[in-house]
């Protein structure tokens, strides 16, 4: 074990924004479609099934390929993989912007997911090689955390502004100049890095991991849409089977796609689990927030997005605090504090009523994102510090796959809780069993403004958010206790001095 005191140069810091931009865009392109959905539906007239695939295929492909692409970057070079991803992401964005059929848009969104799965782990693993000093690396990872998590908030804001003036395709065209900028600057600003002893790339392992993750993500998403049925159970069994086959193969290979010893490292697994937890929180509440702002409080899409802007600031402040405090507070304590702060934000949201000031809801949500910023920065720093430098891409891929699965579970769990509570609240009305009792959006569309039924729907939906937030708080508290115990033997000095031989 060696300790590096090499500090980043001015050129390295100048290069950092070029790694933050793709992290921002890959996250932003998940949420930007929400704002553009009415215009796309009007222009392309997709069926319900086609629309579901438009929404889901990007996340499916991105989650399924994260580990594979991270490991591939370790072998062929992370900068090279980043540039390949820029070409794929820019090409797919162009096709989406000018798509004339639902099928064309779905195929292009799948290609966009391939590009995103290539870009995201490349950016984080390159940061590992560029910033060898622990303090500087935490600052860089904090900036990356703000970009990656903030993209989900920035998506509706940017989309809302563009749709005020341009057609729906413009929300994807903005990706193209950024990708061109990457292709023009990255070869001159960022040095190549790779595993010096990578071994051969195992295609069978890549296929096994892809099938396993796609099946698991599909099972979660199908469960939230249709509940427990033969399809969701079958997908879950298939995912678990292929995951077991993947793990068995990794243990037998001399050069596995991922080193399962990473997962047996307590610090790494606790950090990856915490990353999944904050994705769970952000995606789960984010799913409910914009509906709450636009129905219960009657805001338009752009106004709702602007009201959500403080949550981005919360992430920024949390990431900054996490980077500054990591050198002074033990990882077990700081990670637990971040998760507990996030839980406190959930509890403030849970206390919100339809008549409560909107600042109360946004304030609680911002406290949640502050905790997310603290946890995300420390967790990613732990992941990069505890993984061997040669395995940085694979480690980043594992972490971000966990984040995607956490987001899927957040949407499924909190969305299911919210739906059940809303329907229960509406069952006592004469409209029970009608479309208006199924969703608050339907209730607003069918009920007259100021009517008792409309107000009852607002109360039921607010109660549903409260129940979902209470569940979210309980989960974060439980994980906070787990992190405090799992990381109790990891000290700040050990974390700052971690270096590995490949």
Chain segment 222-233, per-residue pLDDT in tens: 776 677 788 889
State both tokens at 8: 């980043």
Task: Name which of 222, 236, 291 is nearest 461 in CA terms.
Answer: 291
Give yes or no for residue 148 having a pLDDT over 80. Answer: no
Q: Alpha-carbon distance 443 to 422, whole Å?
A: 11
Helix, strand, or coil (residue 124): helix
- Tell whether the model's pLDDT for residue 237 goes beyond 90: yes
According to the model, what pLDDT value does residue 496 have? 55
What confidence tens digit (pLDDT) does each residue in 435-451 have?
555 566 666 666 655 56
The pLDDT of residue 137: 76
Q: How far apart are CA 418 and CA 400, in angstroms?
A: 26
What pLDDT digit, counting tens, does each position of 45-55 carry? 787 667 767 77
Place of tokens 């409910």: 288
> Are the folds of 6-199 and 260-502 the same?
yes
Residue 325's pLDDT band (cuts 50, 70, 90): confident
pLDDT at residue 351 greater than cutoff 90: yes
Report the C-alpha gap between 109 and 58 in whole angstroms: 5
Whether residue 393 is predicted with pLDDT greater than 70 in this model: the reply is no
Residue carrying the six token digits 């549903």: 464
- Tell me the two tokens of residue 309: 């802007």
Nearest to 456 by CA among 480, 477, 440: 440
Q: With cut-offs at 50, 70 and 90, classify the pLDDT of residue 312.
A: confident
% pLDDT > 90, the chain: 13
Which two tokens mark 186? Answer: 């990255």
Predicted pLDDT of residue 90: 92
- Cα–Cα distance between 343 and 346 in angstroms, integer? 5
Instruction: Find the Cα–Cα–Cα–Cα dihedral 136, 276, 119, 255, rounded to 10°.
Output: 90
Which of 96 and 460 is assigned the larger pLDDT? 96
Q: Quick check: 241 pLDDT over 90?
A: yes
pTM: 0.73
pLDDT beyond 80 at 415 = no
The region that residue 433 occupies, defined by phi over 0 for left and psi between -120 and 50 for alpha, beta otherwise, is left
- Taking Cα atoms as reference points, which of 347, 349, 345 lies closest to residue 296? 349
Q: Which two tokens stand for residue 251?
A: 């243990």
The structure tokens listed for 345 are: 């934000």
pLDDT at position 3: 45
Q: Using CA atoms, how far apart are residues 77 and 71, in angstroms rounded to an integer?
A: 10
Average pLDDT score over the chain: 79
Stretch 187-204: mean pLDDT: 76
CB count in 10 Å sphere of residue 444: 19
Structure tokens at 28: 């932003």
For residue 298, count other CB atoms closer than 10 A to its CB. Answer: 11
| pLDDT for residue 345 | 94
Domain ranges in the chain are 6-199, 202-256, 260-502
Q: Which CATH number fits domain 260-502: 1.10.10.10, 3.40.50.880, 1.20.1250.20, 1.10.150.120?
A: 1.20.1250.20
- In angstroms, the Cα distances linking 23 to 20, 115, 286, 475, 496 are 5, 11, 19, 27, 25
CB proximity list for 240: less than 8 A, separation 6 or greater: 212, 216
Q: What's residue 4's pLDDT?
A: 46
Q: What is the pLDDT of residue 38?
A: 66
Structure confidence at residue 422 (pLDDT): 79
Q: What are phi and psi of 167, to 5 degrees?
A: -80, 170
Angle subtended at Cα 373 by Cα 372 and Cα 378, rounded to the nearest 5 degrees:
100
CATH superfamily of 6-199: MFS general substrate transporter like domains (1.20.1250.20)
pLDDT for 88 beyond 90: yes
Taking only the tens place, the pLDDT of each residue in 251-279 is 887 777 777 776 777 777 777 788 788 77
Residue 108 vs residue 501, higher pLDDT? 108
Amino acid 98: pLDDT:
92
Kindly report which listed range (71-75, 157-161, 314-318, 494-498) carries the lowest average pLDDT score.
494-498
Calculate what percentage of the chain has a pLDDT beyond 70. Answer: 81
What does residue 108 show for φ and ψ, rounded to 5 degrees? -70, -35
Contact 32, 159 (CB under 8 A): yes
Return the residue matching tokens 């931009």.
21
Its sign, for the CA torsion 331, 335, 338, 344, is: negative
Higher pLDDT, 312 or 497: 312
Terminal CA-to-CA distance of the chain, rounded, Å? 11
**Which pLDDT does position 108 carry in this prediction?**
92
- pLDDT band (50, 70, 90) for residue 180: very high
């Amino acid at each position: 074990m060696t300790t590096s005191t090499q500090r980043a140069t001015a050129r390295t810091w100048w290069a950092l924004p070029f790694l933050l931009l793709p992290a921002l865009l890959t996250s932003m392109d998940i949420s930007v479609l929400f704002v553009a959905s009415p215009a796309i539906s009007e222009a392309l007239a997709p069926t319900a099934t086609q629309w579901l695939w438009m929404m889901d295929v990007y996340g499916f492909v991105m989650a399924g390929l994260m580990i594979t692409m991270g490991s591939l970057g370790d072998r062929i070079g992370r900068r090279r993989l980043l540039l390949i991803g820029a070409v794929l992401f820019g090409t797919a964005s162009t096709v989406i912007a000018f798509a004339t059929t639902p099928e064309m848009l779905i195929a292009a969104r799948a290609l966009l997911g391939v590009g995103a799965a290539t870009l995201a782990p490349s950016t984080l693993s390159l940061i590992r090689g560029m910033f060898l000093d622990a303090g500087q690396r935490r600052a860089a990872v904090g900036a990356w955390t703000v970009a990656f998590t903030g993209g989900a908030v920035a998506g509706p804001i940017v989309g809302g502004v563009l749709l005020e003036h341009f057609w729906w395709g413009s929300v994807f065209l903005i990706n193209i100049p950024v990708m061109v900028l990457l292709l023009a600057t990255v070869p001159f600003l960022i040095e190549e890095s790779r595993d010096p002893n990578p071994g051969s790339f195992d295609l069978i392992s890549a296929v096994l991991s892809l099938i396993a993750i796609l099946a698991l993500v599909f099972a979660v998403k199908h469960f939230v849409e249709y509940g427990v049925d033969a399809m969701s159970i079958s997908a879950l069994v298939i995912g678990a089977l292929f995951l077991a086959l993947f793990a068995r193969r990794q243990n037998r290979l001399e050069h596995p796609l991922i080193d399962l010893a990473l997962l047996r490292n307590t610090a790494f697994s606790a950090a990856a689990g915490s990353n999944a937890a904050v994705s769970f929180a952000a995606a789960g509440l984010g799913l409910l927030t914009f509906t709450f702002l636009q129905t219960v409080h009657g805001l338009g899409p752009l106004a709702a997005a602007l009201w959500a802007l403080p949550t981005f600031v919360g992430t920024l402040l949390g990431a900054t605090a996490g980077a500054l405090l990591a050198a002074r507070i033990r990882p077990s304590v700081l990670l637990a504090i971040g998760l507990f702060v996030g839980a406190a934000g959930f509890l403030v949201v849970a206390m919100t009523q339809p008549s409560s000031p909107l600042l109360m809801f946004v304030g609680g949500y911002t406290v949640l994102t502050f905790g997310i910023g603290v946890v995300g920065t420390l967790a990613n720093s732990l992941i990069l510090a505890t993984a061997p430098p040669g395995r940085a891409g694979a480690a980043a891929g594992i972490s971000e796959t966990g984040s995607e699965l956490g987001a899927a579970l957040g949407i499924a769990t909190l969305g299911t809780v919210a739906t059940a509570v809303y329907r229960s609240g509406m069952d006592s009305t004469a409209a029970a069993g009608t479309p208006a009792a199924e969703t608050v959006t339907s209730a607003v569309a069918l009920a007259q403004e100021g009517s008792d039924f409309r107000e009852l729907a607002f109360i039921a939906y607010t109660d549903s958010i409260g129940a979902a937030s209470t569940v979210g708080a309980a989960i974060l508290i439980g994980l906070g206790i787990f992190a405090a115990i799992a990381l109790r033997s990891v000290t700040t000095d050990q974390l700052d001095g971690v270096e590995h031989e490949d």
